[in-house]
């Protein structure tokens, strides 16, 4: 037997669905306009494309080497994610499960560094990387992000829950620490690794400021920087290319998100619980 | 005496040898932090006492606390602090208020809660530059939102919001609310699902209605989550840059510096005027403010000793 909907439930649904439409509409607007001509975008921005055209997309591909930008974005985000997740997990293992002299002091210092606002590093890092010749090189964005306090902290919180007996048993059996890490720990911390990997990948893929500062040659641009090339001085200029490129940037991450939504949402919820 | 010390030393050395892998495993972070964290921090502090223009580091002159005095008395810097303050008060209130409303409503329905939550989260995972491009287009004079407002009679002429007094920071706060309220919804919803149902049952026995339950049970139980959101919002929000830059304001925040944020100003000083020493000082001033605000929150808002 289904219970009939009460008035307040109907009101709940109305507000919630209204909110959902409000959130989704701009994305629909973006995709819709990416299939129009510039004139049609100007005159009828809110209607469905009259005669769907790919002129925006061809415009983008003519002006930019989109494949190259896509590969750059993917290479950058992929490398950072792989390095950051691995090195942070290794560090987290030491902080959670290997008692060594000075461990608590190093960990305390690490937590302290989390309180420093990122903005402070902006200028001195730029000067330093400029002086060692990394401006205009991918290293400038990869190496400093190869491990992070935030990831170490998240994975460590998760690892603390693993019973020590499990690790002690493996140690008695003669397993060395790297072997224990790979064989015993890695399979057990998959959810934490997924969390860190998703957050790192997203941050890196959507990063704008870093590439803006360090990747100054067109062949190194990421998708995000490509967008700047179409920014005109007159409103409505390049409109069809802008909508096509924003659609191209957004669709991969949305598809990825819809397949992995549980992990994405858990990734963010985990962050709030680990505090 | 000597043998006791030797014994202690031997024991210590033994522990170090056993824990050798511990040092190996934390060394990537330690080395990278020393090079890319601590060194830049010290360099930044050092630079605040110099004028240092970027492409020619040779033009470096010692100015003592000159940069600090200039920063503390710079009306543009304080203008940017005021701008971001107004923006963040509106943004933090709206974003978390809306997040709380949607979390409570979602917790009361069964069917459809998951797909709705997924949708609210969509702007959170999307690139800021992309969202600002869409938003710029939609809120522009003659854009989608203004056309609609004009159709229903809310406005009678196009609003040039980027140049109108008082509007840029308000509009940016509304756009950012749209982008970020989903994260509050998700975190608060997880908090609500974690509240012991027996509390509500007991309150129902005592004859409490929905709004009383919300005020007496839900809201107090969500304090850790709300506190977490507040701390993160303040730290991130005060460092706003990409939004203003990518929606098309110049590095001085447009007309009458209305959209100037502290980080944008710092960027302008460093990369437009090449005043690197001064920009470092502004960065430190901002960091001190953020740290002080965070400390205040921990002192006064903190939910309970464990959080």
Domain covering B74-300, topology:
MetI-like fold (1.10.3720)
Mean pLDDT check: name the lowest of A113-122, A187-196, A246-255.
Answer: A113-122
Mean pLDDT check: name the lowest of A67-71, A185-189, B202-206, B302-306.
Answer: B302-306
Q: What is the DSSP string of A11-51?
A: HHHHHHHHHHHHHHHHHHHHHHHTTS-HHHHHH-TTSPPSS
Q: What angle do CA B169, B171, B175 make, to 5 degrees?
A: 115
Residues 190-209 of chain A with CB under 8 A from chain B are 202, 205-206, 208-209
In chain B, what are the domain boundaries?
Answer: 2-68, 74-300
Confidence of residue A232 (pLDDT cuts 50, 70, 90): low
Confidence of residue A4 (pLDDT cuts 50, 70, 90): low
Beta-carbon contacts below 8 Å between A and B: 240
Per cent of chain A over pLDDT 70 is 93
Q: Is pLDDT of B55 > 70? A: no
Q: Could you say which of A12, A91, A106 has the minimum Cβ distance to residue B28?
A: A91
CA distance B1 to chain A (A): 24
The first and second tokens of residue B98, run together, are 């809306």
Confidence of residue A1 (pLDDT cuts 50, 70, 90): very low
B128–A206: do the CB atoms touch at under 8 Å? yes
Backbone dihedral angles phi then psi of residue B61, each to the nearest 5 degrees: -125, 145
For chain B, say whether A118 makes contact (Cβ under 8 Å).
yes
Is residue A161 domain-resident?
Answer: yes
Confidence of residue B210 (pLDDT cuts 50, 70, 90): confident
Kind and range of the H or E element at B61?
strand B61-62
CA distance A192 to chain B (A): 17
CA distance B228 to chain A (A): 7
- Cα separation, A257 vs B125, in Å, equals 8
Q: Could you say which of B102, B129, B137 has the minimum Cβ distance to residue A227?
A: B129
CA distance A152 to chain B (A): 9
* CATH assignment at residue A156: 1.10.3720.10
Hey, which of A235-239, A271-275, B127-131, B245-249 has the most confident mean pLDDT?
B127-131
For chain B, say whether A93 makes contact (Cβ under 8 Å).
yes
SS3 (DSSP) at B275: strand
CA distance B25 to chain A (A): 5
For chain B, say whether A16 makes contact (Cβ under 8 Å).
yes
Mutate to test the interface with B, among A109, A261, A265, A267 (most CBs of B within 10 A): A265
Kind and range of the H or E element at A263?
helix A261-273
Cβ contacts of residue A47 below 8 Å, gap of 6+?
Answer: none
B187–A116: do the CB atoms touch at under 8 Å? no
Confidence of residue B260 (pLDDT cuts 50, 70, 90): very high
Mean pLDDT check: name the lowest of A4-13, A14-23, B114-123, B162-171.
Answer: A4-13
A238 versus B109: the higher-pLDDT residue is B109
A20–B120: do the CB atoms touch at under 8 Å? yes
List pLDDT tens digits, range B152-183: 888 888 888 888 888 999 999 999 999 999 98
**Beta strands B61-62; B50-51: pairing state:** antiparallel
Hey, which of A166-170, B30-34, B43-47, B207-211 has the most confident mean pLDDT?
B30-34
- Cα separation, B136 vs B172, in Å, equals 10
Among all residues of chain A, which has the CA nearest to that of B179?
A23
For chain B, say whether A28 makes contact (Cβ under 8 Å).
no
Confidence of residue A23 (pLDDT cuts 50, 70, 90): very high
List pLDDT tens digits, range A131-149: 888 998 999 999 999 999 8
For chain B, say whether A183 makes contact (Cβ under 8 Å).
no
For residue B175, the model assigns a pLDDT of 95
Cβ contacts of residue B234 below 8 Å, gap of 6+?
Answer: B88, B92, B290, B293, B294, B297
The 3-state DSSP composition of chain A as helix, strand, coil percent (nearest 5) reads 75, 0, 25
For residue B57, the model assigns a pLDDT of 61
Averaged pLDDT for residues A215-224: 88
Mutate to test the interface with A, among B55, B126, B163, B241 (most CBs of A within 10 A): B126
For residue B146, the model assigns a pLDDT of 87
B246 DSSP β-pair partners: none
For chain B, say whether A178 makes contact (Cβ under 8 Å).
yes
CA distance A95 to chain B (A): 8
Q: SS3 sequence, A59-119?
A: HHHHHCCHHHHHHHHHHHHHHHHHHHHHHHHHHHHHHHHCCCCCHHHHHHHHHHHHCCCCH
Q: Could you say which of A19, A113, A178 has the minimum Cβ distance to residue B102?
A: A19
Kind and range of the H or E element at B50?
strand B50-51
Hey, which of B105-114, B142-151, B257-266 has the most confident mean pLDDT?
B257-266
Among all residues of chain A, which has the CA nearest to that of B48?
A124
A16–B109: do the CB atoms touch at under 8 Å? yes
Picking from B271, B190, B187, the residue whose alpha carbon sits closest to that of residue B231 is B187
Among all residues of chain A, which has the CA nearest to that of B290?
A117
The angle, 0 to 180 degrees and rounded to 10, between the axes of the packed helices A261-273 and B113-120 is: 80
Query: How many residues in chain B?
Result: 307
B6 versus B89: the higher-pLDDT residue is B89
For residue B306, the model assigns a pLDDT of 43
Q: Is pLDDT of B307 > 50? A: no
- Cα separation, B80 vs B77, in Å, equals 5
A269–B118: do the CB atoms touch at under 8 Å? no
Q: What is the mean pLDDT of chain B?
A: 86
CA distance A218 to chain B (A): 18
Q: Is pLDDT of A99 > 90? A: no
Averaged pLDDT for residues B133-150: 86
Q: Could you say which of B43, B124, B242 has the minimum Cβ distance to residue A128?
A: B43
- Cα separation, A253 vs A272, in Å, equals 23
B125–A254: do the CB atoms touch at under 8 Å? yes
For residue A271, the model assigns a pLDDT of 66
Helices (H), chain B: 2-18, 20-33, 39-47, 66-72, 75-108, 113-120, 122-125, 128-139, 144-151, 167-193, 197-205, 210-213, 219-221, 223-237, 242-246, 262-267, 276-300
Averaged pLDDT for residues A160-166: 85
A123–B44: do the CB atoms touch at under 8 Å? yes
List pLDDT tens digits, range B66-80: 889 888 889 999 999
CA distance B285 to chain A (A): 9
Confidence of residue A80 (pLDDT cuts 50, 70, 90): very high
Confidence of residue A174 (pLDDT cuts 50, 70, 90): confident
Is residue A113 domain-resident?
Answer: yes
Confidence of residue B251 (pLDDT cuts 50, 70, 90): confident
In chain A, what residues touch B243 (CB-CB under 8 Å)?
none
For residue A214, the model assigns a pLDDT of 92
Confidence of residue B305 (pLDDT cuts 50, 70, 90): very low
For residue B78, the model assigns a pLDDT of 95
List pLDDT tens digits, range B16-53: 666 888 899 999 999 999 998 888 888 888 888 988 77
Range of the structural domain that residue A105 is part of: 65-226
For residue A85, the model assigns a pLDDT of 95
For residue B225, the model assigns a pLDDT of 86
For residue A141, the model assigns a pLDDT of 93
Provide the number of structural domains found in chain A.
Answer: 1
């Amino acid at each position: 037997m289904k219970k009939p909907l009460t008035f307040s439930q109907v009101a709940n649904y109305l507000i919630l669905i209204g909110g959902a439409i409000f959130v989704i509409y701009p994305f629909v607007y973006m995709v819709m306009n990416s299939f129009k001509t510039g004139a049609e975008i100007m005159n009828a921005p809110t209607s469905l494309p009259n005669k769907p055209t790919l002129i925006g997309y061809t415009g983008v591909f003519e002006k930019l080497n989109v494949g190259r930008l896509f590969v750059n974005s993917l290479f950058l985000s992929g490398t950072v994610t792989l390095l950051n997740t691995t090195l942070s997990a290794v560090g987290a293992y030491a902080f959670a499960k290997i008692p060594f002299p000075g461990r608590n002091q190093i960990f305390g210092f690490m937590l302290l560094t989390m309180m420093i606002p990122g903005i402070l590093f902006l200028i001195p890092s730029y000067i330093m990387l400029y002086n060692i010749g990394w401006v205009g090189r991918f290293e400038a964005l990869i190496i400093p992000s190869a491990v992070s306090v935030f990831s170490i902290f998240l994975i460590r919180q998760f690892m603390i829950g693993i019973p020590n007996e499990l690790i002690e048993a493996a140690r008695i059996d003669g397993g060395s620490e790297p072997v224990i890490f790979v064989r015993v720990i890695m399979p057990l911390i998959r959810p934490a690794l997924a969390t860190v990997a998703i957050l790192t990948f997203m941050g890196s893929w959507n990063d704008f400021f870093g590439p803006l500062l360090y990747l100054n040659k067109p062949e190194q641009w990421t998708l995000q920087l490509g967008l700047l090339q179409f920014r005109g001085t007159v409103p409505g200029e390049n409109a069809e290319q802008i909508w096509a490129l924003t659609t191209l940037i957004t669709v991969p991450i949305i598809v990825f998100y819809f397949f992995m939504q549980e992990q994405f949402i858990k990734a963010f919820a985990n962050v709030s619980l680990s505090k | 005496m000597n043998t006791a010390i030797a014994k202690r030393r031997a024991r210590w050395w033994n522990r170090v040898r056993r824990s050798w892998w511990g040092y190996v495993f934390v060394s990537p972070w330690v080395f990278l932090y020393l090079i890319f964290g601590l060194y830049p921090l010290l360099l930044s502090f050092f630079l605040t006492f110099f004028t240092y223009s970027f492409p020619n580091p040779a033009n470096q002159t010692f100015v003592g606390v000159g940069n600090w005095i200039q920063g503390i008395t710079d009306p543009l810097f304080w203008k940017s602090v005021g701008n971001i303050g107004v923006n963040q008060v509106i943004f933090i209130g709206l974003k978390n208020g809306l997040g709380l409303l949607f979390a409570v409503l979602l917790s009361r329905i069964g069917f459809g809660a998951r797909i709705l939550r997924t949708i609210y989260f969509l702007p959170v995972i999307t690139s800021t530059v992309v969202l600002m491009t869409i938003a710029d287009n939609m809120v522009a004079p003659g854009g989608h939102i203004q056309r609609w407002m004009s159709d229903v009679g809310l406005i009678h002429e196009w609003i040039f919001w980027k140049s109108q007094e008082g509007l840029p920071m308000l509009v940016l706060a509304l756009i950012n609310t749209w982008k970020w309220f989903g994260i509050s919804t998700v975190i608060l919803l997880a908090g609500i699902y974690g509240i012991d149902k027996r509390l509500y049952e007991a309150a129902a026995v005592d004859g409490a209605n929905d709004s009383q339950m919300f005020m007496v049970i839900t809201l107090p139980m969500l304090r850790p989550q709300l506190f977490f959101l507040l701390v993160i919002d303040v730290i991130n929000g005060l460092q706003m840059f990409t939004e203003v830059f990518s929606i098309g304001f110049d590095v001085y925040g447009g007309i009458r510096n209305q959209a100037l944020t502290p980080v944008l100003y710092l960027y302008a000083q460093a990369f437009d005027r090449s005043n690197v020493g001064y920009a470092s000082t502004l960065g430190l001033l901002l960091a001190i403010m953020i740290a002080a605000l965070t400390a205040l929150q921990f002192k006064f808002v903190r939910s309970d000793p464990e959080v």
